[in-house]
Amino acid sequence: MLKYIAQRVVLAICIMLVATSGLYAIMVSLPGDPTTILLGPRSTPEMRADFRAQMGLDDPLVVQIVQLWGRLLTGELGTDYARNRSVASAIFSALPHTVALIFCAISWAATLGIVLGAFSADRRGGWLDRITGVVSVALLAAPSFVVALYSLLIFGVMLRWFPTIGAGETGDLGSRIWHLVLPSFAIGISWVGYIARIVRASMLETLGESYIRTARSFGLPRRVVIYKYALRVAILPAVQVLGVGIGGMLSSAVFAEIVFSRPGLGSLIFESVSGRNYPVVMGAMFVAIGFFVACTLLADLVNIVLDPRQRAGR
């Protein structure tokens, strides 16, 4: 178990190293001079040259990447030149909004998807199974930005059931939750169908296992066999997918935060990329990559805990 955890941690560190370095290399290779954008069109060549030297953009790419990792490892994420603040304060003021949005979306999507998948497998070939199959495929085909736009227009503008912009009043939990409804619906709806299909397929496979037949032979009620014994194993593939899904929702959160004018890590990255604000982009991307890797690692460890067969195999 400890050996497996150590291997996964080392792999996670390598992924962060390669992904962050690659993103930085791509970003600095983009056309355009970031100093002109940050300093404005009236800046003199001398001012731009001094600013480039201050940002370290005149050094070779390898040196820039080494310096970047030196700053990241010491916790020095740099300065947000556009707003004259530290990158760390910019990131950690935006991060809670994105984390709340992602976990709200994945919580209701996972709950509904697992329930639909289990019911569908329990009633294989029935009307609920057919409806779930059609709805699942339809939800999988719906892009998050399209869902965000239409949910904003229908439920926010036309029906006026939910607020359309912002993250709610500070200190008002009810307002914060109410403002999360539409954005979490937009980025979570496609995962309902995905998780339902995974749980259904896994449940059908699990119901054919020998220990399930043994449980049935002892006369245990059907619901106990399915929802107590079979479902515990059937949700394991969904748990692993959820680890990737939580991290992958960061990309969907970008669209949701832009459409609904929410503060968050996604909108911060979008604004920083548009303004070529390299320190903020790299600091935010480092946190986003770390969040993604941590969620994937946590999902693997949860799978090991839930599935004794994997512990024995290790």
Task: Convert the pLDDT of each residue in 233-281 to its tens digit.
Answer: 777 777 777 777 776 677 777 778 888 888 888 788 887 777 777 778 8
Which band of pLDDT confidence, cut at 50, 70 and 90, is reported for residue 109?
Answer: confident
Which band of pLDDT confidence, cut at 50, 70 and 90, is reported for residue 306?
Answer: low
Q: What is the pLDDT of residue 102?
A: 85
Q: Name all domains of the chain by residue range, CATH numbers in brackets.
A: 96-275 (1.10.3720.10)
What whole-number distance in Å separates Cα of residue 179 and Cα of residue 169?
9
What whole-number distance in Å separates Cα of residue 200 and Cα of residue 62?
48
Average pLDDT over residues 103-123: 82
- Is residue 80 a contact partner of residue 87, using CB atoms and an 8 Å limit? yes
Q: What is the pLDDT of residue 103?
A: 85
Percent of all residues in the chain with a pLDDT value above 90, rounded to a whole number: 0
Which residues sit opposite 80 in a β-bridge? 85
Q: What is the mean pLDDT of the chain?
A: 77
Choose the weakest-confidence range: 21-30, 211-220, 302-311: 302-311
- Is residue 235 a contact partner of residue 202, using CB atoms and an 8 Å limit? yes
Average pLDDT over residues 172-195: 81
Quote the DSSP letter at residue 225: I
Q: What is the pLDDT of residue 33?
A: 66
Rounded to two decimals, what is the model's pTM?
0.75
Average pLDDT over residues 30-55: 72
What whole-number distance in Å separates Cα of residue 165 and Cα of residue 129?
37
Q: What is the pLDDT of residue 24?
A: 81
Q: Nearest CA to 69 among 8, 6, 14, 5?
A: 14
What whole-number distance in Å separates Cα of residue 203 and Cα of residue 113?
13
What whole-number distance in Å separates Cα of residue 292 and Cα of residue 88?
18
Residue 1: pLDDT over 70: no
Task: Convert the pLDDT of each residue in 219-239 to its tens digit.
Answer: 777 777 777 777 777 777 777
For 152-169, give one letter per residue: b (16+ CB within 10 A) or e. Answer: beebbeeeeebbbeebbe
Tokens of 243: 């680890």
Q: What is the pLDDT of residue 40?
A: 67
Residue 313: pLDDT over 60: no
DSSP result, 122-187: HTTTSHHHHHHHHHHHHHHTS-HHHHHHHHIIIIIIIS--S--SS---TT-HHHHHHHHHHHHHHH
Residue 312: pLDDT over 60: no
Distances (CA, A) of 132 to 110, 129, 238, 289, 302: 15, 5, 17, 34, 27
